[in-house]
Amino acid sequence: MRVPAKTLIAAFGLAGAMGLSAASAAPNWSGVPAKDVALFYPGQSSWEWVLTETNHSGADKFRAGKDCAACHIGDEKTMGALLVSGKMNEKAPIPGKPGSLNAKVQFAHDAQNIYVHLEFAEGNQPNAKMDGAHATKVTMMIEDGSVVEANRAGCWGMCHEDSAAMPSAGGSSRTMYLPKTRAHLTAQGGGDALKSADELNKLKASGYSVEYWQAHLNPGAPAVAVNGNIFDKRDETKPTAVTAEATYSGGTWSVTFSRKLNAGPGFVTLAPGKRYTVAFAIHSGHTAKRFHYVSFERSLVLDQGSADFVAEKK
Ligand code: HEC
C-alpha cells in the first residue's frame, strides 16, 4: 500500500526534502469545495439511440438545443436501476450489479498543474471477469468547446451503436469515435468509412478531439495513469502526461489526477477565462468496454465564473 503524502509529512516532516512529484503537491482536499457526481450504468444507450425520437422522448428537445444534463441530473439512480436490470437497452445484464454510484469530485490548480480528486465507494460489485488486470478503472474526459457533441452530451458524443459490444458492432472491436470523423452516420452508427484526409485534417486543426485521463486501480497496488484522445478512434498518448495516485480504504477509492495546465500540442490547454466540459466513467468489478458507469456532462472553469466546478488556485 502506498502511504498518502499527508501521512508521510505528518510522520517525518520530510515533504520538502523528499522531492515529491507533481501529484504529491496536490492540495489538502479537505479545504476544497466538493460536489457529488452520480454515475449510472448506461447499457447500450448510444448517441444514435438517444437522438432517435421513437426510442427516446428527449431526442427532439436535445436536437433543439437542450443538453442531456439539463433534463437528467438527478435521474441517474433511477436510470441506472432500469438499465442494469436488463429491462431496457441491455441484452447481457451482469447479475447483482448495482445500477449507479456516487463520486465526490474536487478540482484545484496551482501555477503549473491542475488536480482532480474523486472519492467513491463501489458498493457490492460482482466480478464480471472481463478485465483480469484491473479491478477498477476511473476515466475523465475533458474538452474545450471545440467538440459540440461532447460539449452538449459528454461521453455520448463518442459512444456509438457500432462500437465494440454495442448492438450494431457485428463483432467489431471499434472503439469510441467522434461523429464528424465519419463519412456517413446512420442509426446504426458511422462504420469504418471516414471523411477524406483533407477534411479530417481540418477537423483536427479546429481542435475537434476529446482528451481522456484514466487511472488503472487494484487495491494495494499503485495507480497507473494513461491518457489519450478520441478522434476517429481512441488513441493512447505516450509518454503519459497525466499522473494518478490512489488509496483504497474501507471500500472507498480516493484518486487524484494531475497534469500540467499546458501539456503541449494534442492536449487541451487549461487556462482561466475558458470553459471546459468534463465527464466521468468508472469501470467497477473487473468490467471492460461499455460495462461501466458514466456521468452526464459537467462544466469546469479555472479561478472564477459560473460552472459546475470552479478550480481555484492554491
Ligand atoms: C428534454 C429532456 C431530455 C433531454 C434533453 C434528454 N433526455 Fe434522455 N430522457 C428524457 C425522458 C423524459 C426520458 C424517459 C423515457 C422516455 O420517455 O423516453 C429519457 C430517457 C433516457 C434514457 C433511458 C433510460 C430511462 O430512464 O428511461 C437514457 C439513457 C437517456 N434518456 C439519455 C439521454 C442522453 C445521453 C441525453 C443527451 C444526449 C438525453 N437523454 C437528453 C428526457 C430527456
pLDDT score at 24: 53
Task: State if residue 82 touches ligand 1 by the CB under 6 angstroms criterion.
Answer: yes
Task: State if residue 294 touches ligand 1 by the CB under 6 angstroms criterion.
Answer: no
CA nearest ligand 1 atom 32, residue: 50
pLDDT in tens, 99-125: 999 999 999 999 999 999 999 999 999
Cell of 188: 446504426
Which residues of the chain have a pLDDT value below 50?
Answer: 1-23
Distance of alpha carbon 314 from alpha carbon 309, whole angstroms = 15
Task: State if residue 61 touches ligand 1 by the CB under 6 angstroms criterion.
Answer: yes
Answer whether 291's CB lies under 8 Å from 137's CB. Answer: no
pLDDT in tens, 119-142: 999 999 999 999 999 999 999 999
Distance of alpha carbon 46 from alpha carbon 168, whole angstroms = 10
pLDDT score at 25: 80
Buried b (16+ CB within 10 A) or exposed e, 59-92: eeebeeeebbbeebeeebeebbebbbeeeebbee
Using the atom order of ligand 1, give the atom closest to the CA of residue 45.
29
Query: Ligand 1 mean position to 21 CA, how many Å?
Result: 43
pLDDT score at 8: 37
Distance of alpha carbon 52 from alpha carbon 75, whole angstroms = 20
CA nearest ligand 1 atom 17, residue: 57
CA nearest ligand 1 atom 23, residue: 79
Query: Ligand 1 mean position to 154 CA, how many Å?
Result: 14
pLDDT score at 26: 85
Query: Ligand 1 mean position to 55 CA, how many Å?
Result: 9
> Nearest-5° angle of CA 81, CA 87, CA 93?
75
